[in-house]
Amino acid sequence: MAWVSEASAHPAGPPHHPAARPAPPDPAALGRLTPLAALRALDASPRGLDEQQAQLRLERYGENTVPEARPPGRPLRFARSLRDPFSVVLLVLGLVSAAVAAWATAAVITVLVLVSSVLRSTGEHRAERAAAGLRELVAATATVRRRPAPGADPRVREIPVDQLVPGDVVLLAPGDVVPADVRLLRATGLTLHQPALTGESAPVARAAVDDPPPGELPQQPQLCLQGGSVATGSGTGVVLATGADTFRARQSRAVPCRPAAGTVFHRALGGITWTLIRLMLCAAVLVLAAHTLLRGPALDTVPLAVAVAVALTPEMLPVVVNVSLARGAVRLARERSVIVRRLPALHDLGAMRVLCTDKTGTLTRDRPVVHRALDPAGRPAPEVLRWAAVNAHWTLQLAELPAPDALDEALLRAAGPGRETGVAAVPFDPVRRRATAVVREPEHPGTHTVVVKGAVEDVLGCCSHLRTAAGEQLELDDAHRARVLARAGREADAGLRLLAVAIARRPGRAPTTAERGLTLLGFVALRDDLAPGAGEALAALARHGVAVKVLTGDHPATAARACRDLGLDPGPPDAVVTGAQTDALDDAELAELARSRTVFARCTPAHKARVVQVLRAAGQPTGFLGDGVNDLPALRAADVGICPRGAAEVTRAGADVVLTGKDLTAIDRALSCGRETTRNITTYLRVVLSSNLGNVLAMLVAGLLLPFLPMLPLQVLVQNLCFDAAQLAFAFDRAGPAPGGGPAAPSRPAGLRPRAFTSFVLRFGALNAAADLATFAALGWLLSQDSAAGLDAHAVFHAGWFTENLLTQALVIWLLRPGSARRLPLPVALAVAGLTAVGLLLPLSPLAGALGLTATLPGAYYPLLGGVLALYAGALCFTRARYRSAISIL
């Protein structure tokens, strides 16, 4: 009985209504059937479904949407933001205040937590929507075989992945993400990466076996499960299950991705968060201890200690981080054709110190053109090209690859397939670095011919003889080998890509793909132009302090020549490191070598990933830029994985950043945007922390000198609320050109660095405390004058300090942000004006009484305050000028 049939595809209710959705096919049971039985059960055919059938099934089973974890709704997001370390600490402080009946303090803390959580969850929701929108721009497709009408011939075409239905026949090729759960009908040399399904990082072999062994579904060799990706080879299979019915959806496993806590961004943010939490708890204990020592234990110091701790908390940090990253990503997509698929990658991009890149398809166009064909002695030999084309044609046909790779395409353009008939093939893969076809030649009945083409060293390793131009067959001794390699080196020195071609005629009916005892025929040399903008992009990266390393599977001399042509110095010929050389080194030795060398050639995917890993482990934030399937492991190993437009689908799916523009210079612009975003976040942190630390220091000193609380807890918290609102402006800040016409974004890698922060915050915090203490002195002097008689000294002191605090905060926002202090962007100008207005007017407003402030400050206070502020502004400008470089790279 067919498990899927169009007769039953018209249930009584509306076809797409969930209640009418029939029981989905069970991939576990279907997958164990033979190919024929599976096709029959699915009412499908190897010729593919017709379009009408496919449409009915789409209505019946719904879209094949990738079952990623549904984004949480607003209430859940809100609840999660309460779990943020800052919110937890604030809530605990609120409880402490409530326990000592400091209700006003507890209420303000609750408002603070609620406001920051609402802002954070809304910001996250928007950021998630922006990121989802960006991901859709790089949506994936699948290659299917379908018939336009029931009797028509099948056609192979690309369809959006979400349109795939059970029974569809899909073609899989290197670089494809497996789009649904598929039962193989045929496969050639097929291996899959499926770490999310089995946890194994090495590719696993797949074949269209009739009688599968028992075992878990991900281990079954005849199944390609959704979420895997094709490493090598090709296959054709029938879709067993789509969307929510796939194995992965049933298991609710997430897509493989870098663990969030492991990225540069999360490490830095985590470090800063915990440093700050320690700092605020210490400050609270210090205030409590100082006041208890001076005045004996008193419950009313608890709210003050709590308020001090709250004041030190940058509770808007998650809000500023989310909004800055989301805005940066949207701007990059709109203005620069760069899609950021994982928002924190924007920070990691700005922090990147080393960019590893592959060569072919990234620095070069990967549109090779056959330049010439040579025999082993370097004489023209058109026959070599013909055999290379035979190999390309039959590997393509027999392995059922949906499209030839660029080298095969170039060979097929340059020479026709010939009169041979193919019988078996092993397609190219980047570890073996060769492709093999077995053909029958009409003029040699009773034999079959093995034709191998690939990287020179690898093909030579399979050869025992070479053929001269005169058709002579010579044994390949060491001297010949050395001469052949030297000839290949000379061709590669000219920047040409090389394929060696070898054949062997074997008697007997049964074909074998064994690559031994071959005869080397010669080489095909291909020219591959440099990618547009690649030279400029590399120069810009160097200017911005990013070291570039080229990791390629190609010949060392071809790679070195391409680098020279791009203006990147590869060093002397022996400075190019080969993958095989890296095998002999331990991680520390390789890290040392990787630091000083620029080009790594003849790298397998695993070699590329290892170089990236050791650089990261040595403390260098490392990016990887690559376009091919062989780049995927390195892309995943890097802090930030980048791919150019035209990259293989699986590479796009695994990349954090996709360059959709036509040239590579977009990477430099993305880098600048990443640095600018990081700078906004760090500006927020340093402004908040330096002024808050200054306030706390001043409060400690004043607490020791004054017989009353220098500022009431409620006043501290209200001030904090005003600061928070103003500091949100940093999420919307754009620095613009630096004074003197410098670049808007930092010219060196910019990251969140806890150490640099500490020194900055201490320096500017001390300045802020000095301004506060000068204000205390002024207030103390004014209150000691006769004219101040009758004034409420406490309220005057509190109001004077309240005003000064908000005004110094406005000054810090104005003067400590990077970029010109003369031209403020609107959000920053509004924040500065708002703080100034609240600082001057709140003590005069009806709210003043409720906050314990007074409207009647001595008239002489304002000129004195003006003097303090002028001195403070001067000191800020002076210190900022001295530490300009520290400011720009923080």
By annotation, the residues acting in catalysis are 358
Structure tokens at 276: 């700050």
Nearer of residues 235 and 350 to ligand ATP, judged by Cβ: 235
Nearer of residues 347 and 453 to ligand ATP, judged by Cβ: 453
Nearer of residues 601 and 735 to ligand ATP, judged by Cβ: 601
Nearer of residues 327 and 497 to ligand ATP, judged by Cβ: 497
User: Which one of 50, 162, 315, 358 is in contact with ligand ATP (CB under 6 A)?
Assistant: 358
What's the closest the beta carbon of residue 560 comes to ligand ATP, in angstroms? 13
What's the closest the beta carbon of residue 393 comes to ligand ATP, in angstroms? 12
Encoded amino acid at 513, one letter: T
Stretch that binds ligand ATP, among 94-102, 113-121, 301-309, 547-555 (CB under 6 A): 547-555
Stretch that binds ligand ATP, among 146-154, 535-543, 548-556, 704-712 (CB under 6 A): 548-556
Residue 17 CA: distances (Å) to CA of 14, 21, 241 = 5, 6, 19
What's the closest the beta carbon of residue 432 comes to ligand ATP, in angstroms? 9
Nearer of residues 328 and 361 to ligand ATP, judged by Cβ: 361
What's the closest the beta carbon of residue 459 comes to ligand ATP, in angstroms? 8
Contact call for residues 806 and 835 (beta carbons, < 8 A):
yes
Nearer of residues 48 and 623 to ligand ATP, judged by Cβ: 623
Contact call for residues 744 and 819 (beta carbons, < 8 A):
yes
Nearer of residues 454 and 800 to ligand ATP, judged by Cβ: 454
What's the closest the beta carbon of residue 230 comes to ligand ATP, in angstroms? 14
Rounded CA-CA distance 176/650 in Å is 5
User: Which one of 177, 499, 534, 681 is in contact with ligand ATP (CB under 6 A)?
Assistant: 499
What's the closest the beta carbon of residue 697 comes to ligand ATP, in angstroms? 56
Compute how many other C-beta atoms are within 10 angstroms of the C-beta atom of residue 621.
25
Contact call for residues 177 and 649 (beta carbons, < 8 A):
yes
Compute how many other C-beta atoms are within 10 angstroms of the C-beta atom of residue 330.
17
Instruction: Provide φ and ψ at 16, rounded to 5°.
Output: -95, 0
Can residue 630 be called a binding residue for ligand ATP (CB under 6 A)? yes
Can residue 552 be called a binding residue for ligand ATP (CB under 6 A)? yes
Structure tokens at 400: 């059922």
C-alpha closest to that of 651 among 399, 341, 188, 242 = 341
Can residue 491 be called a binding residue for ligand ATP (CB under 6 A)? no
The three-state (H, E, C) secondary structure of 843-886, written as one string? HHCCHHHHHCCCCCCCCCHHHHHHHHHHHHHHHHHHHHHHCHHH
Output the residue with the shortest Cβ distance to ligand ATP.
553
Would residue 524 be called left, alpha or beta, if left means φ above 0 and alpha means ψ between -120 and 50 degrees?
beta
Stretch that binds ligand ATP, among 156-164, 335-343, 356-364, 588-596 (CB under 6 A): 356-364
Compute how many other C-beta atoms are within 10 angstroms of the C-beta atom of residue 641.
27
Can residue 553 be called a binding residue for ligand ATP (CB under 6 A)? yes
Nearer of residues 428 and 730 to ligand ATP, judged by Cβ: 428
In the three-class reduction of DSSP (H, G, I as helix; E, B as strand; rest coil), residue 37 is classed as: helix
What's the closest the beta carbon of residue 319 comes to ligand ATP, in angstroms? 42
C-alpha closest to that of 886 among 679, 732, 673, 744 = 679
What's the closest the beta carbon of residue 4 comes to ligand ATP, in angstroms? 38
Q: Which helix (H) or strand (E) holds 452?
A: strand 447-454
What's the closest the beta carbon of residue 363 comes to ligand ATP, in angstroms? 8
How far is the first Cα of the chain from the last one, in angstroms, to the nearest whole number?
68
User: Which one of 359, 607, 636, 679 is in contact with ligand ATP (CB under 6 A)?
Assistant: 359
Can residue 523 be called a binding residue for ligand ATP (CB under 6 A)? no
Nearer of residues 50 and 358 to ligand ATP, judged by Cβ: 358
C-alpha closest to that of 795 among 700, 694, 709, 722 = 709
What's the closest the beta carbon of residue 447 comes to ligand ATP, in angstroms? 23
What's the closest the beta carbon of residue 108 comes to ligand ATP, in angstroms? 59
Can residue 407 be called a binding residue for ligand ATP (CB under 6 A)? yes
Under 8 Å CB-to-CB from 267, ≥6 apart: which residues?
Answer: 261
Can residue 350 be called a binding residue for ligand ATP (CB under 6 A)? no
Can residue 360 be called a binding residue for ligand ATP (CB under 6 A)? yes
Residue 84 CA: distances (Å) to CA of 270, 271, 318 = 11, 14, 9
C-alpha closest to that of 626 among 684, 552, 679, 680 = 552
> For residue 664, what is the DSSP state?
T
Rounded CA-CA distance 435/424 in Å is 11
What's the closest the beta carbon of residue 558 comes to ligand ATP, in angstroms? 7
Q: What would the x/- binding string for ligand ATP be over residues 57 to 96, using CB under 6 A?
A: ----------------------------------------
Contact call for residues 438 and 425 (beta carbons, < 8 A):
yes
Rounded CA-CA distance 521/472 in Å is 11
Sign of CA dihedral 718, 719, 722, 723: negative
Burial of 721 (0-12, 13-18, 19+ CB in 10 A): middle
Stretch that binds ligand ATP, among 189-197, 469-477, 491-499, 867-875 (CB under 6 A): 491-499
Can residue 54 be called a binding residue for ligand ATP (CB under 6 A)? no
Stretch that binds ligand ATP, among 10-18, 494-502, 507-515, 699-707 (CB under 6 A): 494-502
Can residue 502 be called a binding residue for ligand ATP (CB under 6 A)? no
Nearer of residues 38 and 603 to ligand ATP, judged by Cβ: 603
Nearer of residues 53 and 604 to ligand ATP, judged by Cβ: 604
User: Which one of 50, 554, 639, 676 is in contact with ligand ATP (CB under 6 A)?
Assistant: 554
CA angle 416, 419, 422 (to 5 degrees): 95
User: Which one of 176, 405, 515, 649 is in contact with ligand ATP (CB under 6 A)?
Assistant: 405
Contact call for residues 195 and 257 (beta carbons, < 8 A):
no
# binding residues, ligand ATP (CB under 6 A)? 24
Q: Please, which of residues 423-462 interact with ligand ATP by CB under 6 A?
A: 428, 430, 433-435, 453-455
Structure tokens at 112: 């603070």
What's the closest the beta carbon of residue 461 comes to ligand ATP, in angstroms? 13
Nearer of residues 222 and 630 to ligand ATP, judged by Cβ: 630
Residue tagged 């017709």 (tokens): 50
Q: Please, which of residues 560-599 interact with ligand ATP by CB under 6 A?
A: none
C-alpha closest to that of 383 among 407, 418, 352 = 418
Compute how many other C-beta atoms are within 10 angstroms of the C-beta atom of residue 304.
24
The three-state (H, E, C) secondary structure of 730-755, written as one string? HHHCCCCCECCCECCCCCCCCCCCHH
Compute how many other C-beta atoms are within 10 angstroms of the C-beta atom of residue 617.
13
Nearer of residues 67 and 644 to ligand ATP, judged by Cβ: 644
User: Which one of 203, 570, 579, 628 is in contact with ligand ATP (CB under 6 A)?
Assistant: 628
Rounded CA-CA distance 768/762 in Å is 10
Q: What would the x/- binding string for ligand ATP be over residues 788 to 807, using CB under 6 A?
A: --------------------
Residues interacting with ligand ATP, by CB under 6 A? 358-361, 405, 407-408, 428, 430, 433-435, 453-455, 497-499, 552-555, 628, 630
